Amino acid sequence: MSFLLSLIGFVLVIGILVTIHEWGHYQVARWFNIKVVTFSIGFGRPIWKRQGSETEYQIGLIPLGGYVKFVDESEGEVAPADLPRAFNRQSVYRRFAVVAAGPLVNLIFAWIVFSAIYLIGVSGLKPIFDQPLPSTALAEALPQNQQAWLVTAVDNQTVSTWLNVREKLLKSLVNNQDSVSLTLQSVDNEDQQRILQNVSLASLNLDNPSQNWLQTLGFQPINIPMPAVIGDLSEQSPAGQAGLQRGDLIVAINQIEIQDWQDVVMAVRTLPDESVIIHLLRNGQATALPVTLSHKLSPEGVKQGYLGVGVEVSQARLANYTATVRYGIIESLELGLDKSLELVMMTYSMLKKMLFGEVGLQNLSGPVSIAQFSGQALETGLIAFLGLLGLLSLSLGLLNLLPIPVLDGGHLVYYIIEMVKGSPVSDAFMQAGQKVGLILILGLTILALTNDILRITNG
């Protein structure tokens, strides 16, 4: 099922983003009365096509891109009646606008998607924690803590969920900040606040995407008491192989009595690769099943027991620990724009760090990772899918604006040179640039695919 969801998600996401991108080129060309011969989503042999009044619309077999083909004398003979509408005969400013339209539409689409997310409303766990983890930056900033705190702001920017906190930490790391300030509000007394200045980020590693930044910094989210009822499990996991089922209530593991789900987590974690007896209630009937646990490695490389089950979430119990934030249309558009601009700056900052070797190239992701993320987003819900769609649309727009021949940005550089010198760049110069650009793109594609394979093989 996960493979099928990943495949469906990938085709859906790439199909939407490529259609939006190519529509940008197509629509601006139509505005300038440039004749469009082909509008294709995907490459290779067409699996569907339809002839319009002058444009053939098609879907290619390989869903990894698309193209819009114009009437152009550089690509073959053009009928005399079509010469005024040929792409190569347009002014450099019109050609610039047509090429720039694709990535710009992707950026505008990302803004619209992010705005829609703020309008619909985003839910998540409130950033509530109690005792900081020992020997961490948070423990140093908040010693001898005796109560639960709600994080309300990071560097004076409001946060509502743990995801917001992580996003602000990422922004701080990308901006090379050494520390952040945290605004806290007492859970028991809303009038009691504390501001922790200069909480060190030295322990966080931007070059290690698997690092749990919240935990490393010292956050220990408050334990939400949940009954030990299995809500989800993998058929291939130790639990699935042993015959555990959704809805089972775990009452004991070996001789360890289980009161809530946290007891299950703590008991399993300490028993990697061991055989245990799980006592449970199924439809009111007591039973016991032998289970051989496997293990997973913590971010620190420590073996931890793995059962392969998830808790059945009680929405009633979660109500006091979750936040849903919605905004009006105008405010959503403003926040969507702010989010887009923030991601643009962060993306180019990360690219710069990769270029100068400040972070590793393992941060690049390829189509396999995109497929996995797409499947997970589809399974999670509308907001997760929209978030991924907006992020990938923005990434596609920015990638295509890079001044690399073969990409839209490379053609825009040629047109800027033409605007300055008053004549097009030579064919020899353009062909040499295309070869260099093709090598760069192929190299990045191979690297991204290699990263995907390493992520899969390393779990």
Q: Exposed e or buried b for every residue in 267-283, given b needs 16+ CB within 10 A?
A: bbbebbeeebebbbeee
- For 264-309, give the DSSP string: HHHHHHT-TT-EEEEEEEETTEEEEEEEE-EEEE-TTS-EEEE--E
Whole-number Å distance between alpha carbons of 296 and 56: 52
Q: 276 pairs with which residues across the strands?
A: 291
The sign of the torsion formed by the CA atoms of 110, 112, 118, 121 equals negative
Angle at 111 between CA 179 and CA 206, to 5 degrees: 30
Of 22, 190, 235, 358, which is the active-site residue? 22
Q: Which two tokens stand for residue 236?
A: 């291939």
Whole-number Å distance between alpha carbons of 281 and 303: 29
Max CA pair span of the chain: 88
User: Do 316 and 322 contact (CB within 8 A), yes or no?
Assistant: no
User: Do 275 and 190 contact (CB within 8 A), yes or no?
Assistant: no
CA distances from 385 to 6, 42, 114, 280, 388 (A): 12, 21, 11, 36, 5
CA distances from 70 to 29, 47, 94 (A): 9, 21, 13
Tell me if residue 255 falls in helix, strand or coil.
coil
Q: Which two tokens stand for residue 100?
A: 């720039």
Residue 189 CA to its chain's centroid (Å): 36
- For 438-452, give the DSSP string: HHHHHHHHHHHHHHH
235 is catalytic: no
Whole-number Å distance between alpha carbons of 438 and 215: 42
> What number of CA atoms fall less than 13 Å from residue 267's CA on the CB side?
21
> What number of CA atoms fall less than 13 Å from residue 408's CA on the CB side?
25
- So which residues are the catalytic ones? 22
